[in-house]
Amino acid sequence: MARNANRKPRDSGFGVEAEAQPSAAGPADVGTVTAAGREWAVGLLWQAVENTAKAVAEAKAMAQNSVEGDFYLVRPEGTHQYAVGWRAAGHKAGMPSLAAAVGEGRDNLIGVFPVVGGYYFVAIRDGAVLATCDRFLADKRDAMEAFNNIYGNAGGWNDAFAPEEFRFQETKEVALDSLIGKKTGPKLVDVRRAGATIRLVGILLIGAAIVGAGLAYWNHLKEQEYQAELERIRRQAMSVKLPGKQAEPPPPPPWAGQVVAADFIRSCVDEIGRYPFAVAGWKPTTVSCSPQGPVVQVQALMDREGQISSANWIGASLKKGDFQPAITRPSSDKAAAAWTGKPQQAMLPDLKTHPVSRVQSYLASQFEEALTRLDITAAQQTEFYISTKYTFRTQLDPREFLPILEKVPGMTMQKITYDYTQNNFTGSWIVEGSFHEAKPIPEGGVKAKPGARPAPNMQKRS
């Protein structure tokens, strides 16, 4: 797995050089599959909806402005996803999505199914179609690899389907047609046709307005002078500055004052490296790092082994030289050692962030390349900011993922845990972080006061 985590990432939109292979943000080679007696769209670009009240507008904007798509669809309320399609892939207006149909009513499903000309691969996590996991694959080996990359590195699947000849454990073979219900689900909408419909409605409304205006013209003339006087009074009132609450700047962004994510990871791994993991009579369990202002707070937990273990042995084993952790006893059978790392560079509020939907697509594609499962939660929004949490588990040193993570400005870390008890005591890492987006300042609002930008670069690399 280590060699895969170091593979050169694909084009992310963050300045990463592209490899010569298909990207998620473009048409697939084959974009249609026949199942249950009809043609379905596959190979769509799936995105999370940021504002459910504007899901259609987001989908159209992505198709028209970001990826030069020709079609879009929005999944029903509750899934908060939309997708973009392309004519070059064979997609057509009115064509339903196969992934949406298979995922209807299913939260965690992964499957690879024989279809005409090859195989169809799909993965649904928490009801959402995973990025790059809605694909047609002509080659059997490619289909097995695509399935294993996700299935072999993630658990918790309610349904796992694969042909028996693939010999994947705890999977069963079913016909793709049996997973498709009577309802086809959302269908692709032509971006141009949607625009033409809006223009037609606009023309009809304008025509109706002209007729109505002609009928009301005489009354308008009578009231024109009266309305002009009202407008004069309104403008005069607006120019008067009344005492009261003035516009206030937005609250500090969630990344302000937090350690740069890449520096947090480096500091955490360095500090955990100082911990000996060998205390007579005590068994190490986990060591975790969490942010505490500009420093990394580290806590190591351990359980008593045997009846003659002494708490005094902990300090004698751990406190050496400049390493002087604070020892506490949550209970008679448990102990904890805590210490802090060196101060790190903190992020300033005036940091330019990327849209969370773009970051989510980037991370999903890069972690798939690294053969590592990435769990992303639904975005949380306030008036000024959007934040999304992510988690991944790995047996690799977390610093192996820095080439991916450090390209996201404003990323913050919530916790990094080294679980010594997992994987036959060779250890397993759990990394938890968030990425954020600053919304445009509302009209009349005040921007936060910028700070002095550190040199040479806020997102520095060592």
In this prediction, residue 240 has a pLDDT band, given cuts at 50, 70 and 90, of very low
pLDDT > 90 fraction of the chain, expressed in percent and rounded: 41
Q: How do strand 189-190 and strand 71-74 relate by DSSP bridges?
A: antiparallel
Pair (272, 369) in one structural domain: yes
Higher-confidence residue: 355 or 25? Answer: 355
What was the pLDDT predicted at 294? Answer: 85
Pair (53, 156) in one structural domain: yes
Give mean pLDDT, residues 313-328: 88
28-44 tens-digit pLDDT: 568 999 999 999 999 99
Give first-to-last CA distance, the chain, whole Å. Answer: 24
Domain enclosing residue 369, as ranges: 261-438
- Which of 171, 192, 213 lies at the terminal end of a domain, its last residue? 192
Pair (47, 127) in one structural domain: yes
Chain mean pLDDT for the chain: 79
What was the pLDDT predicted at 340? Answer: 93
pLDDT over 80 (residue 198) = no
What was the pLDDT predicted at 224? Answer: 62
The answer to the question of residue 246 being in a domain is no
Give mean pLDDT, residues 11-21: 39
The answer to the question of residue 226 being in a domain is no
Residue 390, classified by CB atoms within 10 Å of its CB into exposed (0-12), middle (13-18) or buried (19+), is buried
| Distance of alpha carbon 426 from alpha carbon 282, whole angstroms | 17
pLDDT over 80 (residue 252) = yes
Secondary structure (H, E, C), the chain: CHHHHCCCCCCCCCCCCCCCCCCCCCCCCCCEEEECCEEEECCCEEEECCCHHHHHHHHHHHHHHHCCCCEEEECCCCCCEEEEECHHHCCCCCCEEHHHHHHCCCCCEEEEEEECCEEEEEEEECCEEEEEEEEEECCHHHHHHHHHHHHCCCCCCCEEECCHHHCCCCCECCCHHHHCCCCCCCECEEHHHHHHHHHHHHHHHHHHHHHHHHHHHHHHHHHHHHHHHHHHHHHHHHCCCCCCCCCCCCCCCCCCCCECHHHHHHHHHHHHHHCCCCECCEEEEEEEEEEECCEEEEEEEEEECCCCCCCHHHHHHHCECCECCEEEEEECCEEEEEEECCCCCECCCCCCCCCHHHHHHHHHHHHHHCCCCEEECCCEECCCEEEEEEEEEECCCHHHHHHHHCCCCCCEEEEEEEECCCCCCCCEEEEEEEEEEECCCCCCCCCCCCCCCCCCCCCCCC
The answer to the question of residue 36 being in a domain is yes
Higher-confidence residue: 362 or 149? Answer: 362
Pair (290, 415) in one structural domain: yes
What was the pLDDT predicted at 359? Answer: 92
CA atoms within a 13 Å half-sphere pointing along the CA-CB vector of 458: 23
- Which of 176, 192, 208 lies at the terminal end of a domain, its last residue? 192
pLDDT over 50 (residue 242) = no
| CA-only gyration radius of the chain, Å | 28
79-111 tens-digit pLDDT: 789 999 999 999 999 999 999 999 998 989 999
At which residue do the structure tokens 């205006």 appear? Answer: 213
| Distance of alpha carbon 59 from alpha carbon 430, whole angstroms | 33
What was the pLDDT predicted at 230? Answer: 59
Higher-confidence residue: 371 or 153? Answer: 371
The answer to the question of residue 22 being in a domain is no
What was the pLDDT predicted at 449? Answer: 44
What was the pLDDT predicted at 121? Answer: 96
What was the pLDDT predicted at 235? Answer: 60
Give mean pLDDT, residues 230-257: 65
The answer to the question of residue 233 being in a domain is no
Task: Specify which of 40-44, 199-203, 351-355 reaches the highest per-range mean pLDDT.
Answer: 40-44
| Distance of alpha carbon 83 from alpha carbon 48, whole angstroms | 9
pLDDT over 50 (residue 403) = yes
Pair (356, 434) in one structural domain: yes
pLDDT over 90 (residue 228) = no
The answer to the question of residue 18 being in a domain is no
The answer to the question of residue 4 being in a domain is no
Q: What is the pTM of this model?
A: 0.48
What was the pLDDT predicted at 201? Answer: 42
Pair (282, 390) in one structural domain: yes
Give mean pLDDT, residues 257-263: 93
Tell me how many domains the chain contains.
Answer: 2
pLDDT over 70 (residue 333) = yes
45-58 tens-digit pLDDT: 888 888 888 889 98
What was the pLDDT predicted at 375? Answer: 92
Cβ atoms of residues 336 and 300 within 8 Å: yes
| Distance of alpha carbon 318 from alpha carbon 6, whole angstroms | 34
The answer to the question of residue 111 being in a domain is yes
| Distance of alpha carbon 83 from alpha carbon 72, whole angstroms | 6
- Which of 192, 214, 246 lies at the terminal end of a domain, its last residue? 192
Pair (169, 270) in one structural domain: no
Pair (44, 130) in one structural domain: yes
Pair (320, 434) in one structural domain: yes
What was the pLDDT predicted at 353? Answer: 92
- Per-residue CA distances from 259 to 24, 266, 293, 421 (Å): 31, 11, 7, 28
In this prediction, residue 329 has a pLDDT band, given cuts at 50, 70 and 90, of confident
Pair (169, 283) in one structural domain: no
What was the pLDDT predicted at 185? Answer: 87
Pair (184, 312) in one structural domain: no
Pair (280, 408) in one structural domain: yes
